[in-house]
């Protein structure tokens, strides 16, 4: 592994000045740029282009709590177009993301390969439904992740299912606002904030396995690894049917509800999922081995075409 310094260190708009040197000083077979939203991909793609090395761009798009940053996402993609269209391949993690960047980059749909992310779990799938009524809302504590929708629905859920508990699993800058909302709604004693290290996959798997329902009310996900891992652990998953989460619904990995649904409608969907759980269809959940294998095949195709 070769690491180079990125500046500024505490911003997601960083760039890595030494990267072109690393790319051009040796003859790499393929350069794979992961993500499009920082200054690293254009620098890497330009260096690879000048060195005559085929390169791949995986979009790995994401949401943001800033409306300004969200508005700039399309502009960033269009500015990258001259380099992106010269890529040996473009990779999306979902059908939604592929369609999105087909429009933004104005490329043919077959130029974009869909290779989903995968689930990584270290516990066996539980038999039957977990005991109790624990709802887990997964994701970094950002406004766009939608934890507030689960909190707002909670009083209505408690009116029907008084033993329900809600756990917010994640950390982030929106945590204080969420706690204020819990106090306003009088549900502080029913909401728990949990932080699990991203490196402790066993602890995360055990936590997800304890849930009666996993909810993901995010405004935007290219594709949700959290939904995949919950599905892999046979937990029912309820999501906003938007962005890449709609792919999870279409693939039978999650139940969907409109992102325009009222708080009462969200609560009713939660109550339905908890009161009359339906077994998740036995459909395959993508794994990281599947992802790695698909990328390996893609690299092979690129190298075969370059020879």
For residues 131 and 261, the model is more confident at 261
User: For 207-234, what is each residue's pLDDT tens digit?
Assistant: 998 999 999 999 999 988 889 999 988 8
**3-class secondary-structure state, position 223:** coil
pLDDT tens readout for residues 179-217: 999 999 999 999 999 998 877 888 888 899 899 999 999
Beta carbons of 223 and 93 less than 8 angstroms apart: yes
- How far apart (Å, rounded) are the C-alpha atoms in residues 53 and 130? 51
Tell whether the model's pLDDT for residue 115 goes beyond 70. yes
Residue 300's nearest CA partner among 52, 44, 56 is 56
Topology of the domain covering 19-118+288-306? Rossmann fold (3.40.50)
What distance lies between CA 37 and its chain's CA centroid?
A: 15
**Pairing assessment for the beta strands 213-216 and 237-240 based on DSSP bridges:** parallel
Query: What top-level class would CATH report for the domain 133-275?
Result: alpha beta
pLDDT at 187: 97
Structural contact between residues 249 and 266, judged by C-beta atoms closer than 8 angstroms: no
Q: What is the mean pLDDT of the chain?
A: 87
Task: Name the pLDDT band for 68 (thresholds 50, 70, 90).
Answer: very low
Instruction: Answer positive or negative: Cα dihedral of 201, 203, 216, 70.
Output: negative
CA-to-CA dists, residue 38 to 19, 23, 72, 154, angstroms? 13, 18, 12, 37
Instruction: Quote the pTM value.
Output: 0.85
- Between 275 and 71, name the one with better pLDDT: 275
How far apart, in whole angstroms, are the C-alpha atoms of residue 131 and residue 206?
13
> 102 near 78, Cβ under 8 Å?
no
CATH 3.40.50.2000 residue window(s) in the chain? 19-118+288-306, 133-275
Q: What is the pLDDT of residue 58?
A: 94
Give 1's contacts (C-beta < 8 A, 6+ positions apart).
none
Distance between CA atoms of 114 and 92, rounded to whole angstroms?
5
Judged by DSSP in three states, 123 sits in: coil
Contact yes or no for 136/207 (Cβ under 8 A): yes
């Amino acid at each position: 592994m070769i690491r180079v310094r990125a500046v500024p260190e505490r911003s997601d708009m960083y760039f890595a000045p030494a990267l072109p040197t690393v790319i051009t000083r040796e003859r790499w077979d393929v350069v794979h740029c992961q993500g499009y939203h920082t200054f690293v991909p254009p620098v890497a793609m330009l260096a690879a282009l000048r060195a005559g090395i085929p390169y791949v761009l995986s979009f790995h798009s994401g949401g943001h709590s800033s409306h300004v940053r969200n508005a700039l996402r399309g502009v960033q993609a269009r500015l990258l177009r001259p380099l992106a269209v010269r890529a040996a391949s473009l990779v999306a993690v979902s059908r939604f993301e592929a369609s999105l960047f087909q429009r933004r980059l104005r490329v043919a749909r077959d130029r974009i390969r869909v290779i989903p992310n995968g689930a990584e779990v270290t516990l066996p799938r539980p038999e039957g439904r977990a005991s109790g009524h624990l709802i887990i809302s997964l994701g970094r504590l950002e406004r766009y992740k939608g934890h507030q929708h689960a909190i707002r629905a909670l009083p209505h859920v408690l009116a029907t299912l008084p033993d329900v508990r809600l756990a917010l699993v994640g950390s982030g800058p929106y945590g204080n606002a969420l706690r204020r909302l819990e106090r306003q709604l009088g549900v502080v004693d029913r909401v728990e904030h949990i932080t699990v290290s991203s490196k402790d996959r066993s602890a995360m798997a055990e936590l997800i396995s304890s849930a009666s329902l996993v909810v993901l009310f995010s405004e935007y996900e290219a594709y949700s690894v959290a939904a995949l891992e919950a599905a892999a652990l046979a937990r029912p998953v309820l999501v906003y049917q938007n962005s890449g989460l709609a792919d999870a619904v279409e693939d039978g990995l999650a139940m969907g509800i409109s992102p325009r649904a009222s708080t009462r409608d969200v609560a009713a969907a939660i109550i339905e999922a908890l009161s009359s759980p339906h077994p998740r269809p036995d459909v395959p959940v993508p794994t990281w081995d599947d992802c790695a294998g698909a990328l390996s095949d893609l690299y092979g195709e690129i190298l075969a075409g370059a020879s």
